[in-house]
Structure 1
Amino acid sequence: MKRSTLPSLDDLRAFETAARLGSVRAAAGELALTHGAVSRRVAKLARDLGFRLFEPEGRGLRLTPDGAALSEAATRAFGLIEDSLATIRSASGSAPIVLSCERSLAMRWLIPRLSAFQDRHPEIEIHLSTGGGSPDFARERVTLAIRRLDFALDPAWTVRELMPERVGPVMVPGLRDRFALGDYVALGSRTRPKAWADWQRAHPHAPPPRSVQLLDHHFLMTEAALGGLGVALAPEVIVGQDVAQGKLAAPYGFTPDGTRYGLIYPGSYVPTGHADKLCGWLFDEAARDARVPPPAQAGPAPRRP
Structure 2
Amino acid sequence: MDRSDIPSLDDLRAFEATARLGSVRLAADSLALTHGAVSRRITKLANDIGVSLFEKNGRGLRLTPAGETLNLTLGRFFSELGATVQSLRATRAGKTALVLSCEPSVAARWLIPRLGAFQTAHPGIALHLSVGGGLVDFRKNQVDLAIRRLDFAVPEAWNVRTLFAERVGPVMRPEWVPKFERGDYLALGSKTRPDAWAQWLKTHPSARRPTEIRYYDHHSLIVEAAAAGLGVALSPLVLAVDDVERGSLAAPAGFDPDGSQYGLIWMGAGELQGVEFELAEWLLAQFSHLYPAGGAPRTRRRKTGTMQSSGKPPI
Q: Normalising by the residue count of structure 1, what TM-score does the alignment of the two structures yield?
A: 0.81
Deviation per residue, 1:80-120 (Å, 9 max, x gap): 21122334445564374232222211111111111221233
Deviation per residue, 1:254-288 (Å, 9 max, x gap): 23333332222236142111101101110111125
Call closer, same or farther: CA 1:125–1:33 in 2, change over 3 Å: farther
What is the aligned partner in structure 1 of residue 220 from structure 2? 219
Rounded Cα–Cα distance in structure 2 between residues aligned with 1:53 and 1:167: 47
Call closer, same or farther: CA 1:268–1:233 in 2, change over 3 Å: same
What is the aligned partner in structure 2 of residue 258 from structure 1? 259
Rounded Cα–Cα distance in structure 2 between residues aligned with 1:73 and 1:139: 20
Rounded Cα–Cα distance in structure 2 between residues aligned with 1:155 and 1:83: 14
The letter of the residue matching 1:213 is R
Residues 160 and 262, structure 1, Cα contact 8 Å, conserved in 2: yes
The letter of the residue matching 1:120 is A
Matched residue pairs, number? 290
Structure 1 unaligned spans of 5+: 292-305
What is the aligned partner in structure 1 of residue 19 from structure 2? 19
What is the aligned partner in structure 2 of residue 75 from structure 1? 75
Residues 87 and 270, structure 1, Cα contact 8 Å, conserved in 2: no
Rounded Cα–Cα distance in structure 2 between residues aligned with 1:133 and 1:63: 22
What is the aligned partner in structure 1 of residue 182 from structure 2? 181
Indicate the larger mover: 119-128 or 210-219: 119-128
Indicate the larger mover: 282-291 or 95-104: 282-291
What is the aligned partner in structure 1 of residue 120 from structure 2? 119
Deviation per residue, 1:226-259 (Å, 9 max, x gap): 2211100112210111122222122223233333
What is the aligned-residue identity percentage? 54
| TM-aligned CA deviation for residue 55 of structure 1 | 6.4
Rounded Cα–Cα distance in structure 2 between residues aligned with 1:254 and 1:110: 20
Residues 80 and 268, structure 2, Cα contact 8 Å, conserved in 1: no
1:209-288 matched pairs, under 5 angstroms: 209-266=210-267, 268-287=269-288
Residues 55 and 64, structure 2, Cα contact 8 Å, conserved in 1: no
Rounded Cα–Cα distance in structure 2 between residues aligned with 1:139 and 1:96: 17
Rounded Cα–Cα distance in structure 2 between residues aligned with 1:235 and 1:55: 41
What is the aligned partner in structure 2 of residue 30 from structure 1? 30
What is the aligned partner in structure 2 of residue 194 from structure 1? 195
Rounded Cα–Cα distance in structure 2 between residues aligned with 1:55 and 1:199: 43
Q: Normalising by the residue count of structure 2, what TM-score does the alignment of the two structures yield?
A: 0.79
Rounded Cα–Cα distance in structure 2 between residues aligned with 1:52 and 1:290: 49
Residues 102 and 146, structure 2, Cα contact 8 Å, conserved in 1: yes
Rounded Cα–Cα distance in structure 2 between residues aligned with 1:123 and 1:240: 29
Residues 96 and 124, structure 2, Cα contact 8 Å, conserved in 1: no
| Larger Rg over CA atoms | 1
| TM-aligned CA deviation for residue 139 of structure 1 | 5.3
What is the aligned partner in structure 2 of residue 106 from structure 1? 107
| TM-aligned CA deviation for residue 52 of structure 1 | 5.6
Call closer, same or farther: CA 1:91–1:218 in 2, change over 3 Å: farther
The letter of the residue matching 2:220 is F
Residues 165 and 291, structure 2, Cα contact 8 Å, conserved in 1: no
Indicate the larger mover: 192-201 or 50-59: 50-59
What is the aligned partner in structure 1 of residue 162 from structure 2? 161
What is the aligned partner in structure 1 of residue 301 from structure 2? none
Structure 2 SS opposite 1:174: helix
Call closer, same or farther: CA 1:219–1:55 in 2, change over 3 Å: closer
Call closer, same or farther: CA 1:284–1:7 in 2, change over 3 Å: same
1:128 aligns with 2:129: yes
Q: What is the RMSD computed on CA atoms of the aligned residues?
A: 2.9
Structure 2 SS opposite 1:122: coil
Indicate the larger mover: 128-137 or 234-243: 128-137
Residues 79 and 267, structure 2, Cα contact 8 Å, conserved in 1: no
Indicate the larger mover: 237-246 or 133-142: 133-142
What is the aligned partner in structure 1 of residue 42 from structure 2? 42
Call closer, same or farther: CA 1:6–1:218 in 2, change over 3 Å: same
Call closer, same or farther: CA 1:196–1:70 in 2, change over 3 Å: closer
Residues 102 and 131, structure 1, Cα contact 8 Å, conserved in 2: yes
